[in-house]
């Protein structure tokens, strides 16, 4: 796999892993924008949301369930943001699909 996240998934780069199963890895963001900032990463190399195929989209319920579990685990179940940056115009910098789970402080308006 070619991206930083691909290398983390393959164990070639270190990361602070907080959850892992056969399909999904969750790590702490290296530059957190809030007290809780996790990255929920499907292990399959999907460049971005917009190119996810119908089979890939079947992962979404599990990703959302993992987000709920992580929100409980990290004490932000009462308020958090789950977001995807799709494409360079939206601020995507790593072209391996990932969901940001951000919380632990009052979050400002979007964009
Ligand atoms: P995006 O801009 O949506 O592509 O998000 C990429 C995120 O990955 C940013 O929030 C970065 O801080 C984060 N990031 C970059 N490299 C690493 C890394 N080695 N470990 C954990 N998070 C990282």
pLDDT in tens, 5-64: 999 999 999 999 999 999 999 999 999 999 999 999 999 999 999 999 999 999 999 999
**From CA 84, how far away is CA 100, in angstroms rounded?**
6
Q: Is the CB of 3 under 6 A from ligand 1?
A: no
The answer to whether residue 70 sits within a structural domain is yes
> Is 111's pLDDT higher than 90?
no
The answer to whether residue 84 sits within a structural domain is yes
CATH assignment of the domain containing 32: 3.30.428.10
The answer to whether residue 9 sits within a structural domain is yes
31 CA distance to ligand 1 middle (Å): 7
This prediction has a pTM of 0.98
The answer to whether residue 107 sits within a structural domain is no
The answer to whether residue 46 sits within a structural domain is yes
49 CA distance to ligand 1 middle (Å): 16
**From CA 96, how far away is CA 4, in angstroms rounded?**
8
92 CA distance to ligand 1 middle (Å): 9
> 110 pLDDT band (50/70/90 cuts)?
confident
> Is 93's pLDDT higher than 90?
yes
Mean predicted confidence (pLDDT) in 86-97: 98
Q: Give the Cα-Cα-Cα angle 86, 80, 14 (nearest 5 degrees).
A: 65
Q: Give yes or no for a contact between 97 and 41, defined as CB atoms under 8 angstroms apart.
A: yes
Count of structural domains, the chain = 1
The answer to whether residue 101 sits within a structural domain is no
Domain span at residue 51? 4-94
Site to probe by mutation for ligand 1, drawn from 17, 33, 94 as the one with most ligand atoms within 8 Å of Cβ, is 94
The predicted pLDDT at position 75 comes to 98
The answer to whether residue 109 sits within a structural domain is no
The predicted pLDDT at position 55 comes to 97
The answer to whether residue 111 sits within a structural domain is no
């Amino acid at each position: 796999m070619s991206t930083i996240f691909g290398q983390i998934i393959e164990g070639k780069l270190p990361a602070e892993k907080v959850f892992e199963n056969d399909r999904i890895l969750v790590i702490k963001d290296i530059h957190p924008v809030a007290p809780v900032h996790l990255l929920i990463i499907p292990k399959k190399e999907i460049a971005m949301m917009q190119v996810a195929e119908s089979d890939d989209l079947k992962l979404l319920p599990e990703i959302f369930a993992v987000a709920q579990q992580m929100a409980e685990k990290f004490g932000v179940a009462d308020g958090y943001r789950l977001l995807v940056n799709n494409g360079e115009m939206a601020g995507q910098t790593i072209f391996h699909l990932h969901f940001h789970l951000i919380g632990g402080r009052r979050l400002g308006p979007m964009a």
